[in-house]
Each structure stands twice: as structure tokens, then as C-alpha cells.
Structure 1
Amino acid sequence: MDHTKMANSHRASAATARVFRGTFVHSTPQMALQVLDDVLLGVNTDGKIAFIGNGAELDKLSQKFGFVPSEVTQLAQHEFFMPGMVDTHIHAPQYMYAGTALDLPLLQWLNTYTFPVEAHFKDLELAKRVYTQVVKRTLRNGTTTACYFATIHTDASLLLAQIANDFGQRALVGKVCMDRNNTVKDYKETCQESQDETCRFIAELLNKKYPLVKPVVTPRFALSCSGALLAQLGATAKNNNLHIQSHISENAEEVKLVKELFPESKSYADVYHKYNLLTDKTVMAHGCHLTDEELLLFKETGASVSHCPNSNISLISGILDVRKVLNHEVKLGLGTDIAGGYSASLLDSVRRAMDSSKVLTLRDPEYNTLTFEEVFRLATLGGSQALSLDDQTGNFEVGKDFDALRVNIAAPGGPIDMFQCEKPKILLEKFLNLGDDRNIVEVYVAGKRVVAADSKIQQEDHFKL
């Protein structure tokens, strides 16, 4: 092949599917907020970011990457792109009663409301209705990646994975495991049943070869799992190199009972560590009452914390000291924790995280309050790091998947009134504090547009609804 043909071949292979021009905001490990003004961002046909360049170099970049300048999508004055948000902890079946049943503390809440509702998900028609709505709702609210708890029912859990795949959401889906301390008659499994069904769930889901949806090993929490089951699940996760999710130190009563159930362990975190459930692919929800020693164990193992501030307050469980977690260099993201948290929007998690930090400052005026820029990072890059997916998503870096929200601060009929032209940092702050789904005019996952401005979930390419 001569040089001319090689050049043409290179241009063809580098051709981009979409190119956007405008303002992009994201986080890096070094910067809580980086504003990229008037940039061109190209997305390959495989959904990965092909290039990021200066808008003034349009002609040069169009020749290099093989796109037509007139086909570039230009963002409007009050628009910007931000990375898709990452919900590191959400219970999909509990969406059925979200916004209610917030009058009891955690353990009583589980037995009174949660377990009876989850027991109904052996009904696949019910599961289909609820799971379809929770995936649509979270996508519409800008959640491009979700880490889902399902129920103990294998087939319904597989259905949740299928629905997430069909709508184009990036997801980790877990069949819940629990073999003790459950008073609900129709919501029980033995240790062997739990292990067998977990293995079936993992095998069948991996066999589907969904590009963006993977299984996650899911012991509900130490109180509901025997040591034998925890040991089996730890081995299963290790043998299959899988993600792990559970709860830890959410509520003071729970921490006390775990100590009584596992007297041989030094701490709640040590229980999970003993059974090989603290790894660099583990995310543990809440952690309100974790000690410094436990956080050191999280740092050593690479395990992460999911901060669920709405739930922590709504169930009166505690307030997580996020600054302490970050100072221990433990990975941390945000979770909605539906339905302990009443909102399926991560924007609510952002706001409650800032509120919780300010409550800690009320207690101690010397406390280093979280900034909105830091919480923005937790909702995006921090979440991808917590789920060990930051090599694929979380910010705008060449080679990563284009998971993104197109935000219009001045969307017609939206909740934000604009009185003058503002800089991008102010626009982002207004969106985080005041915005809602009306401001999210497009959602992209792995380069595919899955939500468009008409508020309807779109199907593009291989996404079939």
C-alpha cells in the first residue's frame, strides 16, 4: 500500500460518528472541576471519545479525524456537557414505594416495608413494570451508570439486567443473598439455595454478553447472611473476578448486632474482610459509623464507600463524615439508596451531601465543609472510581466511553430563571442546586443517545425497547 492509500485508510478508521462543540465540564483526579471552553469533542462509532481539541482548530481537526465541519453539533449559550452521573447504590424493587414509609429506623423498616414488598418480585409481570420504570426514571434524571440491588429472585434479577441493557444504561445488577434474620415468611432462602441461585444468575447474565451490564455479588448485609454464605460468596466473586456490593455500618443498632453475631471479628469491616468480600471491586453503602481502623482496611483492600445522604437522614441512621473518608484516601461515590432515600435523582444526592457536610460544620465550626465542586466529582468521576469503572467512564478523556449529559440551564419550562449571561462554573452550580430532569435535554451512554429533548427514551442502533 502506498502512502496516499495508508493516509486515506487512517482517516477512514478514525472517522467519527458525532462531533460536538461548546462547553464541557468534568473532574480529574487532580481537579474537582475543570471547565473546557469552546472545545470540539469527537465520538467514534464505537462510542469512545476520539479526540478533544480547540474549537478554533475546526478545519485542522476535521481533516485529521474525518468529519464534516457543517455536521458539528453546536451547543447553545446556556448549554454544557457534563459526565453522566453514577449511582453507586440503588434498590430497584424499592422504587415501587419510593417517597413513602420513612417513619421507622433501618431494621424495623426492613421487616415492616422492604422485605414484604421485595417478596412480591417473584411475579415477573410486576418486576417488569417496576424495573422498566426505575431504569427509565434514573436515565431521564441523568444516571448513566447504576449499581442495582434486585431481590432474591434469580429470574426477576435477570429481567432487570435485560431491561437496563435494552434501554442502554450501564449497570451492575445483583441478585440479593440472605439466609437468616428475616421474619417475612415468603422471602427466605437457605444458604445452599442462595449460593446455587447466585451461580445461576452469574452464569446466565454473563452468557447474555451484554456490553454494558454485568453481575455483582450481593450479600444483603452481614446481619442477614451466615458466615458460611459470606464465605461462599467471597469465593464466587474471587473465582469469577466480579464486583461485590453490600451495606456496612449504616445504623448504630446494626453495628451492635453484627458485633454480637460475629464475636470473632474485630469490627464490621473485618467480618467482610475475613470472607474475602473487601476487594478493589467492592462498594459498601453508608459507612456512617466506620472507625479509622476500618477505613484503613478499606484503603488497604481498595474497597469503596457509597455515600447515601438522603437515606442516612430519612431513616435517621447517621451522617457520614465524607471528609474523613477522603482523608483516608478511600474511594467514594454517591448513591440514591431508593427507597431509604426518597429521590431517584442523583441531583438530590448532591444536595443532601452538601447539606450533611454543613451539618457537620454546625457541630464543629473548624470542619472543612465540602464544596459543590467536590460533590460534583463524587457524583461523576468519584462514582466511577468507587465502582472500579473509571477506566471506562467518569469524565471526558480520550479513549473513555462517551457517557454524558447535555444540560440546558435555560430550558423552556424548566426550574431555573436566568437574568444574565453567566460563566460555565455558575451555570453548573445553578444546575446542581436548582436543576432537574427538564434541564437534561440529552443523555448519552457509550456514545448512544438514550434520552432526547422530547423526554422520551430513544432507541438507537442496537437498543430495542
Structure 2
Amino acid sequence: MNQYMHLFQGTAFSSKSPKEIQILKDYLFCINTDGMIEKIIAPEDADYQPLLDTYQGTNNFHQLAEGQYFLPGFVDLHVHAPQWAQSGTALDIPLYDWLNTYTFPLESKFSDLDFAKKVYDDVVSTLLANGTTTALYFATVHKEASLLLAEICATKGQRGLVGKVVMDDPEQNPENYRDADTPTALADTEEFIIAVQELAKSTKQGVYPVVTPRFIPSCTDEGLQGLGALAAKYDTYVQSHCSESDWAHGYVQDRYNKNDAFALHDFGLLRDKSVMAHSNFLDDQDVDLFAQTGTAIAHCPISNAYFANSVIPVAHFQSKGVEIGLGSDISGGFSPSLFDNIRQAVMSSRMLEDGVNPSLSAQDRGVPGSRITIHEAFYLATAGGGESLSLPIGRIQENYVWDVQIIDTKCPSAKLPIFNDNEDLDDVFQKMMYLVRPENIREVWVQGDKVHSR
């Protein structure tokens, strides 16, 4: 019989398709030394009892208590790690003012590595405690602090995809917070890529460098061109903001006479490893371009409520074959929890479908066919994020990594309202989606290692 690093027993929920979850009731999950799910065994399988007999009572065996369940770890496709220090503040002013008055001055402080360490240690730990096992991070323009964030992810056991931000246009960025010039921005990015790829060799769960033009308004044409070339040379991930708000979308139209998506594509920045945050104002040609290039969207529903001037038509974009996952967008989004973003994704989609202006008649008020279900929003936070990054994450199935959250529905300080011992498991799943708080997340595992417990 195979020697497994860990054997887990319990009930798990995982996406079968965007609209449908799979419930694996009392299954065994066999985890190998690489942290991969080598085998999943149903109670009726012949191997089930012999394996239980072999592993029960050993340190490698983990049995869930009554009221506990496995969920896949969440994949957060858009986090501004430095902005954790301002989360929950200044959300009531327009995007342009918010960036210049609050965000850029804060991010400029990350030239101080002691300050950077304090914030980055805390944001990685906080995200893990909220069930986020993989995060796609914007850092700052500072090469050293950005590398420090990748090192913290490696040490704490989170799968981190980290970008040193490029802001090289002296016209568009504040004097005290930008790259020195375009050649420096590109040289720093290349050195950062090489350093993170080196760090990745000794990191079990993986860390990845990400080419990160902040967005078109902060970069020169030469900078964008150079970043596209670096992404191709080192085959890296790419991230940026795309058509987030009326202001950002209009700025690119004025500068290039084309939409963000086509401008980014012309610089070589739309590729299978690209994730574009927000993307609220894409038209159908933009969406087709995303689908053709394999570019994914990081949907940030809480942040969009504050800064995007719109609700993104997720259902429409998905119907056109674009990969979509969820992002918290700390700190444009105040919450570090993808549970909160799952809930908001559903609520925003329903507001788009039904409309929000009560002075219009019902049939003129909304956009039909826009709503998504809680099952679909869960898919975005898990399997959709995994597909967006082309990694074997976000599902509990064979040949995927063991990235899981163990949810305790009976946690005394945050007990879920489950009063029937034989409650329908799909109902239990929905209650978890709507009601879980960090206290319910008892353990978090990444790549077969426990990285958080309470």
C-alpha cells in the first residue's frame, strides 16, 4: 500500500462546474510528499477500510470532527499588499484623489524595509487566516521591499505571485513616488524577476514574479513596451488594472484612441499568464480579445462598489469564454476576506439584473441575465482563480494541490444556524458561504503543509 504524507477523512465541497458543486461526503484524501492530492477514495471503494485501518491512530491521519468541512483554499487575484495599512479608510473620495492623497504617499513609505516587513508580515498572515492560500500581489515601485514580500510568502507558506510595480512616467506620477526613469524601472523589474525565480527553487508551494505596470496612466510607452518584452523573455505572469472606472477608461481612450484592452495588447501585455483587475468597461471586442489571448479578469466586487462607477457584467463576460476569478483589491476593497467578496459578487450581480433606480419602470431598470448564484461566486473564488493562473489549485480533486480550509460550523463564538443533524449538505454549503467568519476557519493548509490554525 502507498505511503502517504497525510491521510484526511471528512466531507469536502468543490466546484464541478461554474454552477454546480460536488459534495464528497466522508471521503479519504491521500496527500503525497509533494503536497498533491494523489488519490481520493469514496466510502464504498475497496481501499477505503484497509487505508483507514492502516493510518488510524498515526500522526499522518487527520479526521474532521462533527460539523467540520473542507473547502478549497481561496485564490485572491488582486491584492495591493502595501495598502493593507490603509484598509477601511478614505473610501469616500474619487479614485484619482484617493490615489494621490492617500495611496501614493503610503506606498512611498515602503522604501523603509522595517516598515515594509511589519505590513507585509501582517497582510500575508491575515489573508491566510481568511482562507486565502494563493494571492496575486501588487507591491510597490521598490525592488527590495517587493522581494521581501515574496520572501515572506515563501516563509509563511502562502503561494505568492508578486509584482514590483512600475510607474515610470514623470508627468503622471508624484515626484516622491515613482521609478527614477524608464531604464531603471526595466532594470529593477528584470533583477526582481531573476531574484524571485531563484527564490522559487527552494519554495515548495511556489512563488512567482509578475510583470506589473500599475496601469496605463502611470507608465510611458517605452516602459510598457519594455515590460511586454520582459514578460515574453522570462515567460512571467502579467498584471495591471484595465478599464476600471470612467476616468481610467477615458484617459486611455484620449491617449491612444483605443480601449485599454487593445492598448495593453499592443505592448505585449495580454497573454495566457495575464490577469487584468476590474475590467468593468470592456466592450464585446475587448472581451473577445481577452478570450483569444487567454487573459483573465480579477473581479473585485467590494472595491467596484466604491471606485468603478459600475457593476461588471460577470455573467455576460463568462458566457463569452473569459476566465474570471475574484479579487479583494485591498484596500479599494476594505475586506481581506474572499467570503465577503463572494457575498458582494452575488449581491452586485442581482442589483445589475434588477437595476437600482426606482423611478424607472421594472423592465427599463436593469440588465437581464446578469445575476450569478452563490455557487458561481464560490467557483470564481476557487476554481476560476486557479484557471486564471493556469495552476492546479482551487479544486479538491486528484492531481490538484492540497490547499484547503477546514471550516468549523460549531465554533462557539460563531456557530452557524444548523439545528438538524441531517441538514441537506448543499444547504450547509450555502450557510457557510454566507455566514463563515475568520473564527470558523480552524486550519489552513497549502501544498500539504499546515500554515494556519486557531
Normalised TM-score (structure 1) = 0.90
Deviations 1:292-336 (A, max 9, x none): 110000001000000001111122532111011101110000000
Is contact 2:172–2:217 with CA below 8 Å preserved after alignment?
A: no
Contact 2:409–2:416 at 8 Å: present in 1 too?
A: yes
User: What is the distance in 2 between the residues matched to 1:75 and 1:66?
Assistant: 16
Unaligned 5+ segments in structure 1 are 1-10, 456-465
Deviations 1:17-48 (A, max 9, x none): 11112211101347631111121111112211
Residue matched to 2:248 = 254
Question: Is the counterpart of residue 184 in structure 1 residue 177 in structure 2?
Answer: no
Check the 8 A contact 2:350/2:370 in 1, yes or no.
no
Q: 1:431 to 1:320 in 2, by over 3 A?
A: same
State which drifts further: 422-431 or 214-223: 422-431
Q: Residues 300 and 183 of structure 1: is their aligned pair in 2 closer, same or farther, counting only changes over 3 Å?
A: closer
Letter in 1 for 2:164: K
Partner of 1:3: none
Task: Give, in whole Å, the separation in 2 of the partners of 1:218 and 1:65.
Answer: 47
Query: Do structure 1's residue 442 and structure 2's residue 430 form an aligned pair?
Result: no
Of 1, 7, 11 in structure 2, the residue corresponding to residue 23 of structure 1 is 11
- Whole-Å separation in 2 of the counterparts to 1:254 and 1:290: 12
Residue 388 of structure 1 deviates from its aligned partner by 1.8
| Fraction of identical pairs, as percent | 39
Determine if contact 2:18/2:375 at 8 Å carries over to the other structure.
no
The alpha carbon displacement at 1:254 in A equals 1.2
Following TM superposition, by how much is the alpha carbon of 1:74 offset from its aligned partner in structure 2, in angstroms? 2.2
Displacement, 1:178?
A: 1.0
Structure 2: gaps spanning 5 or more residues: 356-365
Q: TM-score, normalised by structure 2?
A: 0.93
- Structure 1 residue 398 displacement after superposition: 1.3
* Matches of 1:385 and 1:399, distance apart in 2: 14
5 Å matches for 1:228-377? Answer: 228-263=222-257, 266-363=258-355, 364=366, 366-377=368-379
Whether the aligned pair in 2 keeps the contact of 1:158 and 1:205 (CA below 8 Å) is yes
Distance in 2 of aligned mates of 1:175 and 1:68: 45
Q: In the alignment, which residue of structure 2 is the partner of 1:60?
A: 47
2:36–2:401 CA contact under 8 A, matched in 1: yes
2:414/2:439 contact within 8 Å kept:
yes
Residue 217 (structure 1) aligns with = 211
The amino acid of 1:380's aligned partner reads T
- Offset, 1:222: 0.8
CA contact (8 A) 2:21 2:375 kept: yes
| Amino acid aligned to 1:54 | A
Equivalence for 1:394: 394
Report the Cα offset of residue 440 of structure 1: 0.7
**In angstroms, what is the RMSD of aligned CA positions?**
1.7
Q: Paired residue for 2:432?
A: 431
Residue 42 (structure 1) aligned with residue 51 (structure 2): no
1:204 maps to 2:195: yes
The question of 1:104 aligning with 2:93 is answered: yes
Question: Residue type matched to 1:60 in 2?
Answer: D
